[in-house]
Structure 1
């Protein structure tokens, strides 16, 4: 069964370069073969197309061998900018084409950092757009600014009249926050606001955004400045003229790079996050105050419409079930959980509307749970800490408690108020877990070591009501 969240056969999705044309999202991406590479296999940039984020047309490899970049069309000519890494250098390259599959590199347009404003070490991931206000093209780059501190990561700025000769300018955004370059920069405008997106892997790991009323700044950091957590990276966006979508990847966990996975633990859940994985698409929308949020794209949400039986019974605590899809529990001083009679399908959608009382410590769901409730993946809303967390089974064991160095594996900041109703939607596709909270917060995760199990609702030291609890799968023909 091919994955619902796209991944090429025997390979992985790296950074996505999205382009929209003729009713289809044309998604260039870095094709990662890893250990499956063999001589003669196409590598570098590949192209897929979709109009619903459910089915993908594979156009195949294009003759571009390099890192992340950007595609735009000027008149009848397509322009592709990308980066290469010869002998440890980082260079920006330019190619043109009459269509999206056939490209002619222009070697004389290749250039590096200037070594005056920017360090030569980092010079990649070009993003190009027409600045109407200035009447010239702007190029943004992942770079390192000159300076005494190691925190030199920045978004570099260059300008051009012809897309061939570029003038170096002072960084667009250089906040001295990150030791690493601001990767995969992206920019767009919604209403009165400009938005700058970039990804970073030092200090904090994720895809961030900044907002400004002007391209000249200042670039404001919103209260929640990320779109997703640790398991979503290198995201870039594109609009179809009505909605804007964010394309990133959910990394796999195939290596135990630093040996943090406990020696006695045979699974993969606590391996290192890899580069590349499966394609994940979030829909971006703008709140009234100008800040951004993400939700599941409608087409993805509507792919799961076949309701499956789901019967839960109490394991600990007192649970009431007066309506078929509604469960209540009052457990102010203890942990209480109910468990489904049915095992979860390998691919499914789970959803519930959750309301809790004041002073409740935790509410949530367990995925692939066993009878003892210790072997499970926990998605927890924590009102006192204003966050949503993801924890795997090792956290419930004594060995894990001694060995695992963190309290939680993944978390997202959220606002939680007692007696308010919040919707949680969870998509499972093999090892992939995608959680959406209240139509505005996303949390990506991976679940490797427990492949089968049941569904559980739980309350920790409080009271909660779970309404419209549903398990849904795709139609058979999907």
Structure 2
């Protein structure tokens, strides 16, 4: 993992607190959490007794620690004491960065398995490390439990980001990791197993069909819905991707749409609250605050998203109801309109767009957010049902990927336009996110190619 270098300040919660959480006032909470200094990188979500805990890597501040925030409603986040810091020997595994891992509870004790990353460590750059806590707040490290790649199954190079879960069928703990095959050096999803969370036995990697490309599969997450296992991981410097299998060991196949979102979302993982799987990740900062700037490590927390299964191994993603419930102020409600020739709609800087688009004869429709003047200014969510594809694009960038559209069915679009970020959702299933640094405001417009289209139930709301 690499760290970004740019810091953006955000407004923190103000006012009193109720039971330690920010008070609910007339001012809505920030839509996305970001620390006041530095940025938010890899998130490690964990649900426990009605509280949504997110541990995260704190980027852009030097040596990377694990920070900790908690919420009861996925809206208002309380900052808790730092969980893990660099406090070991300068050339040891705890001497530089505390990188990604996971949290699990067992017999009344909470366990963190994390990555100790230190390029000065002559015995290996990456080690799996262990810490425990009685309360999720105070953590004790156990450096005596550390281990690295065994050289038989995995190379002692990339060996990080352990995700740990209990395998009920085999009655043991499983760990999946970002790794490389010991003989070939090709990226693999490594596996280890344990009876006690202390002693780990490395075994053959998960079977992936097709195999991974060049990127090592960072920040893995594995879970089961119904009779299907799902694997989420982030091949380095790319997108967060998904796979599925009928067996825990695989083979894990790729659905029609592999990426969860555009490359702006990275290192996304999820937690289960007893009813829903909730996904969170980070939305990238870009070099120079330019819409087409180089990718940075870290950014802002994404809107929490509910994960649910679609057909043929596909996972779908929609904004959680708690976020939607914040948008209670209506600025525009139009039952049905033909936008051909209509003047653009005035919008505030920050808002939620909600509408249904009937393509009719059009081969392509673009929803233009923050449209400004002539030309390509603004941000376009472009729907191409004939190609089974959609894209979000600006003047100098475009992120496109496959989307399954049902013939003749209106297309539901939601777009959260807030600050320097836009998060769109197509049919409550396909997210498309981008940075929006260069056009901080503008109007809403619609563009059509190949014929007419109709926009139904057009609504603009604010918080």
Q: What's the counterpart of residue 73 of structure 1?
A: 105
Q: Give the match for residue 254 of structure 1.
A: 287
Mapping for residues 174-253 of structure 1, pairs under 5 Å? 176-201=211-236, 205-253=238-286
Alignment of 1:7-86 (within 5 A): 7-34=34-61, 44-65=65-86, 66-86=98-118
Three-state SS of the structure 1 residue aligned to 2:262 is coil
Query: For 2:423 and 2:115, how far apart are their aligned partners in 1?
Result: 31
Deviations 1:214-260 (A, max 9, x none): 113222221222221211111111100000011111101135xxxxx
- Taking the aligned partners of 2:249 and 2:64, their CA distance within structure 1 comes to 39
Q: Secondary structure at the match of 1:115?
A: coil
Q: Distance in 2 between matches of 1:63 and 1:423?
A: 42
Distance 1:370 1:106 in 2: 56
Task: Write out aligned runs for 1:372-383 (5 A).
Answer: 372-383=374-385
Deviation at 1:45, TM superposition (A): 0.5
**1:114-153 to 2 correspondence within 5 Å?**
114-148=150-184, 152-153=186-187
Residue in 2 aligned with 1:402? Answer: none
**Matches of 1:132 and 1:341, distance apart in 2:** 55
What secondary structure does 2:437 align onto?
coil
- Structure 2 residue aligned with 1:405: none
Residue 317 of structure 1 corresponds to which residue in structure 2? Answer: none
Q: Deviations over 1:16-52 (max 9, x none)?
A: 1111012111110001134xx6xxxx95011101232
Other-structure match for 2:8: none
Q: Which residue of 2 aligns with 1:292?
A: 315
Structure 1 residue 178, shift from structure 2 partner = 2.0
Q: Structure 1 residue 373: deviation in Å?
A: 4.6
Q: Distance in 2 between matches of 1:223 and 1:16?
A: 26
Q: Does 1:458 align with 2:447?
A: yes
Residues 179 and 371 of structure 1, relative CA distance in 2, 3 Å threshold: closer
Q: Secondary structure at the match of 2:144?
A: helix
Tell me the distance in 1 between the aligned counterparts of 2:129 and 2:249: 26
* Structure-2 change in CA distance of 1:337 and 1:391 (3 Å): farther
Q: Which range moved further: 51-60 or 94-103? A: 51-60
Task: Provide, for residues 112-152 of structure 1, a one-character-per-residue CA deviation record: whole Å limited to 9, x for no partner.
Answer: 1011111111110011111111121111111011344x6x1
SS of the residue corresponding to residue 293 of structure 2 reads coil
Find the residue that maps to 1:365 and give its secondary structure. Answer: strand
Deviation digits for residues 83-116 of structure 1 (CA, Å, limit 9, x no counterpart)? 1122161111001111111111111111110111
Query: Is residue 303 of structure 1 aligned with residue 313 of structure 2?
Result: no
**Alignment-derived partner of residue 318 in structure 1:** none
Structure 2: runs of 5 or more not aligned: 1-10, 13-29, 87-97
SS for the counterpart of 1:366 is strand
Partner of 2:16: none
Equivalences, count:
419
Structure 2 residue aligned with 1:157: 191
Where 1:300 maps in the other structure, the secondary structure is helix
Partner SS, residue 17 of structure 1: strand
1:356/1:418 contact within 8 Å kept: no
Contact between 1:349 and 1:428, CA under 8 Å: does it hold in 2? yes
Does structure 2 conserve the Cα–Cα contact (< 8 Å) formed by 1:48 and 1:57? yes
Structure 1 pair 188–417 and aligned structure 2 pair: CA distance change class (3 A): closer
Q: 1:68 to 1:337 in 2, by over 3 A?
A: farther
Q: Is the 8 A contact 2:369 2:445 kept in 1?
A: yes
Evaluate the alpha carbon distance shift between residue 235 and residue 182 of structure 1 in structure 2; reply closer, same or farther with a 3 A threshold.
same
Given that 2:256 and 2:402 are in contact with CA atoms closer than 8 Å, whether structure 1 keeps it comes out as no
Deviation string, structure 1 residues 329-358 (Cα, Å, up to 9, x no partner): 5xxxxxx5533352x322210111100124
Deviation at 1:416, TM superposition (A): 3.1
Whether 1:166 and 2:193 are equivalent positions in the alignment is no
Equivalents in 2 of 1:210, 1:417: separation in Å? 22
Report the Cα distance in structure 2 between the residues aligned to 1:171 and 1:337, rounded to whole angstroms: 57
Contact 1:351 1:425 in 2 (8 A): yes
Q: Is the 8 A contact 2:257 2:401 kept in 1?
A: no
SS in 1 for 2:137: coil
1:135-179 deviations in Å (ceiling 9; x for gaps) = 21111111011344x6x1111111111111111101123554222
Query: Which protein is bigger by CA-based radius of gyration?
Result: 1
Distance (whole Å) between structure 2 residues aligned to residue 441 and residue 31 of structure 1: 28
Helix, strand or coil for the counterpart of 1:374? coil
Q: Secondary structure of 2:222's partner?
A: strand
Q: 1:356 to 1:176 in 2, by over 3 A?
A: closer
Structure 2 match to 1:272: 294
| Structure 1 residues 309 and 291: CA distance shift in structure 2, 3 A | closer
Contact 1:63 1:102 in 2 (8 A): no
> RMSD of aligned C-alpha atoms?
2.0
TM-score (norm 2): 0.86
Extract unaligned runs of 5+ from structure 1: 256-266, 311-323, 330-335, 395-407
**Shift, 1:12, TM fit:** 1.1
Rate the CA distance shift 1:209–1:417 in 2: closer, same or farther, 3 A.
closer
- Is contact 1:52-1:300 (8 Å) kept? no
